Amino acid sequence: MAALMHLLLLLFLPLSSSADSIGQFCDKSFKTREIQTSINKVLSDLVSEATISGFSTSSFGQGSNLVYGLAQCRGDVSSDDCATCIADAAKKLQAVCPMKADARVWYDYCFMRYDTSDFIGKADTGYAIIYFNVENATNPEKFDKEVGSLMSKVREQAVQQGSGGLGRGKSLFTPFITIYGLAQCTRDLEPLPCAQCLSSAVEKFPDYCQYRKGCQAMASTILHHLLLLLSLLIPLASSSNSSHSFGPLGHYCGKPTHSKKQITQVSDVLNDTITKALVSGFAVYLGGPYILAQCRGDVSPCDCQKCLLDAEQQIQSQCTNQPAEATIWYDYCLLRYSLTNFIGKVDTDYYLIFPNDDNATNPDDFDDVTSRLMDVVSSEASLAGSAGLGRGKIEFQPHIFIYGLGQCTEDLDIMPCHQCLSAAGQKFLEYCRFRKGCQVLFNSCMARYELYPFFFPLDPIDHDDNDIKVPMP
């Protein structure tokens, strides 16, 4: 759930030239001519296509010689500046990363990378560059609050469908000074990994950029940039472990049963239950065997369908010992069956816990704020009419938010739902103290908090100071 981030820190006062590279990363030595041939072909394709559309992905080769590539210009630059930057990036990679199978170069106007590992569509914050202005802002507390508000709006733009991963904005700090902000994801990312990548970048702002007049964080899938400029001089347009959402998080297979008839019944009615759940996101079968299928209440019908159909296949392929009960957990859904009636009953006997490897800064304050958030989320999930879903966010520090979600299975009444989520809260105290994120999954409920968005809508609500906001359907 946590990625190691290597940082290259640079100080800046003047704006760097758009023609100069900001940084590069080279790794994975190779000696075969076949890989070099694949790299050359990928770079050629990227230059040809990205100079026209501003974005391109490519792959070439077979087996261990397969190379993947991506090139993208910042969404606000001109086509001429884009073409020049892309051409320079391809030359730069060949010059500074000879015989390297993983290479990346950052410019102010564009980004290019290739690798023998398939990175397309995946958020990558494993290597990052941070530039920060050496000067502090006047009235720093007010400045950071204004920056937090601006960058939240910019990130919300960047994750919207049709934005091309680009968000930008400005905020009047004084009558003569304007703060400008920009966020850009690579266009291969869906909105959710884009939001997560941007949040990872902003998480570094308090460590390196607090009170600074400007800061820029760049990872392999995002650019996050803020500048304080005199508004009369430079206009805005002149010039950032969770497993895959559709992969199972874990499964439980109970003891084998000797009743072949009952197991045959499970197979017969499992598909019918899944079919019903595809319509409403929830379904149970009460004929013995007992089956429950449910999607998380915030996911789209399309994602729900993919998750449940995969769960139907996986629970049968993973539990081949013909168990009397079985459960499979995903980020987006849950599928469970048993020969004993469990419908409407709290079950916290079996659970999965995924704590983040990293501890939070100001850990005591972090745990206090997280506890407040999860209390509200649990209360919302236990309300009548909530379908067992509660979610929200709270500002922990300027620019940094904690996101929380609780979900009960819809067969539970209000009190059993509250009991299940309370049990999840106890697991947080036992296994997740001070951790930046944690997820607890029971048979009857799940609870999760993170320092990045992981539920939908991605960021639908405004924030005021430290108020907890819980969006409802």
* Tens of pLDDT, residues 394-448: 989 877 899 999 999 999 999 999 999 999 999 999 999 999 999 999 999 999 9
Residue where a domain stops, chosen among 190, 213, 240: 240
Q: Between vectors from CA 343 to CA 339 and to CA 347, what angle results, nearest 5°?
A: 90
At 257 the pLDDT is 81
Residues 14 and 128 placed together within one structural domain of the fold: yes
Question: What is the CATH classification number for the domain harbouring 273?
Answer: 3.30.430.20
The answer as to whether 293 is a domain residue is yes
Cα distance from N-terminal residue to C-terminal residue, the chain: 27
At 198 the pLDDT is 86
CB atoms within 10 A of CB 172: 11
Residues 327 and 190 placed together within one structural domain of the fold: no
Residues 230 and 253 placed together within one structural domain of the fold: no
Residues 96 and 165 placed together within one structural domain of the fold: yes
Tell which wins on pLDDT, 49 or 234.
49
Residue where a domain stops, chosen among 206, 240, 274: 240
Residues 144 and 32 placed together within one structural domain of the fold: yes
In whole angstroms, what is the distance from residue 467 CA to residue 393 CA?
Answer: 9
At 225, the pLDDT band (50, 70, 90 cuts) reads low
* Tens of pLDDT, residues 294-311: 999 999 999 999 999 999
By mean pLDDT, which of 55-64, 104-113, 220-229, 307-316 is the weakest? 220-229
At 461 the pLDDT is 42
* Joined tokens for residue 247: 């992969």
Tell which wins on pLDDT, 211 or 375.
375
* Joined tokens for residue 322: 């013909």
At 227, the pLDDT band (50, 70, 90 cuts) reads low
Reduce the DSSP state of residue 259 to 3 states and report it: coil
At 219 the pLDDT is 80
At 152 the pLDDT is 85
Residues 6+ apart with CB under 8 A from 421: 378, 381, 382, 406, 408, 445, 447
Burial of 6 (C-beta count, 10 Å sphere; 0-12/13-18/19+) = exposed
The top-scoring range by mean pLDDT among 11-25, 52-66, 219-233 is 52-66
- The answer to whether 315 touches 253, Cβ cutoff 8 Å, is no
- The answer to whether 196 touches 159, Cβ cutoff 8 Å, is no
Share of the chain above pLDDT 70, in %: 86
Residues 229 and 271 placed together within one structural domain of the fold: no
The answer as to whether 390 is a domain residue is yes
The answer as to whether 194 is a domain residue is yes
Residues 6+ apart with CB under 8 A from 368: none
At 212 the pLDDT is 87
Residues 6+ apart with CB under 8 A from 72: 50, 54, 55, 56, 110, 111, 112, 186, 187
Residues 91 and 200 placed together within one structural domain of the fold: yes
* Tens of pLDDT, residues 342-375: 999 999 999 999 999 889 988 999 999 999 999 9
* Tens of pLDDT, residues 282-297: 999 998 799 999 999 9
- The residue behind tokens 């230059």 is 47
At 226 the pLDDT is 57
Distances (CA, A) of 101 to 59, 94, 124, 125, 156: 13, 11, 17, 18, 34
In whole angstroms, what is the distance from residue 284 CA to residue 294 CA?
Answer: 9
The answer as to whether 455 is a domain residue is no
Alpha helical stretches, state H, 165-253:
191-203, 205-208
By mean pLDDT, which of 107-111, 131-135, 382-386, 410-414 is the weakest? 131-135
At 223 the pLDDT is 67
The answer as to whether 473 is a domain residue is no
At 49 the pLDDT is 96
Residue 94 φ/ψ, nearest 5 degrees: -65, -30
Residues 274 and 231 placed together within one structural domain of the fold: no
Region 82-98: mean pLDDT is: 95
Tell which wins on pLDDT, 235 or 25.
25
The answer as to whether 468 is a domain residue is no
Alpha helical stretches, state H, 253-353:
260-280, 301-318
pLDDT at 463 over 90: no
Residue where a domain stops, chosen among 338, 364, 379: 338
The answer as to whether 465 is a domain residue is no
In whole angstroms, what is the distance from residue 113 CA to residue 25 CA?
Answer: 9
Region 457-471: mean pLDDT is: 50
By mean pLDDT, which of 201-210, 339-348, 357-366, 458-467 is the weakest? 458-467
Phi-psi group of 279: left, alpha or beta (phi > 0 → left; psi -120 to 50 → alpha; rest → beta): alpha
* Residue from 471, 374, 390, 384 nearest 423 by CA: 374
The answer as to whether 21 is a domain residue is yes
CB atoms within 10 A of CB 281: 21
Reduce the DSSP state of residue 255 to 3 states and report it: coil
Whether the bond into 457 is cis, omega within 30 of 0: yes
pLDDT at 144 over 70: yes
* Joined tokens for residue 37: 């041939």
At 1, the pLDDT band (50, 70, 90 cuts) reads very low
**Domain housing 327:** 248-338
Report DSSP letters for 32-56, one per residue: -HHHHHHHHHHHHHHHHHHHHHSEE
pLDDT at 2 over 60: no
Tell if the pTM clears 0.85, that is, is over it.
no
At 104 the pLDDT is 93
Residues 322 and 400 placed together within one structural domain of the fold: no
pLDDT at 12 over 90: no
Residues 328 and 368 placed together within one structural domain of the fold: no
Q: What is the mean pLDDT of the chain?
A: 85
Residues 45 and 182 placed together within one structural domain of the fold: yes
Reduce the DSSP state of residue 155 to 3 states and report it: helix
- The answer to whether 146 touches 153, Cβ cutoff 8 Å, is no
* Tens of pLDDT, residues 232-279: 222 222 222 444 456 899 999 998 887 666 667 788 899 999 999 999
Residues 181 and 301 placed together within one structural domain of the fold: no
At 364 the pLDDT is 95
Region 97-103: mean pLDDT is: 95
Distances (CA, A) of 181 to 147, 153, 154, 158, 217: 8, 9, 7, 12, 12
Count of domains forming the chain: 3
